[in-house]
Amino acid sequence: MFVDVMGRAHPELKEEKLAPVDLSKVDLNFTFKYDATPTKEELGITFTPLEKMVTDTLDRLLELERQIPAK
């Protein structure tokens, strides 16, 4: 799932840096079984969707990579 999200966010990475993933072998129907309603209602927390979290993290890592001089 993570590699799929990264590949959609940055297609240029698919051949160079991302491992190939056969999505036919991945259970995409998996769901977490917990209720975050009390956390949202009592603490007012808003959770970041998985795709945004992965994309934001990858964007930051790529930005940091550009700042590191190549050897």
pLDDT reported for residue 54: 95
Tokens, residue 50:
């998985």
State residue 51's pLDDT score: 94
Cα gap 65→33, rounded to integer Å: 36
- Tell whether pTM > 0.85: no
Task: Kindly list the averaged pLDDT for each block of 10 residues, start to end, along the chain of length 71.
Answer: 87 85 78 86 93 96 90 71
Return the pLDDT at 23.
74
Q: CA-CA distance, 63 to 30, in Å (whole number)? A: 31
Range(s) of the domain holding residue 50: 2-67
Domain count of the chain? 1
Per-residue model confidence (pLDDT) at position 38: 92
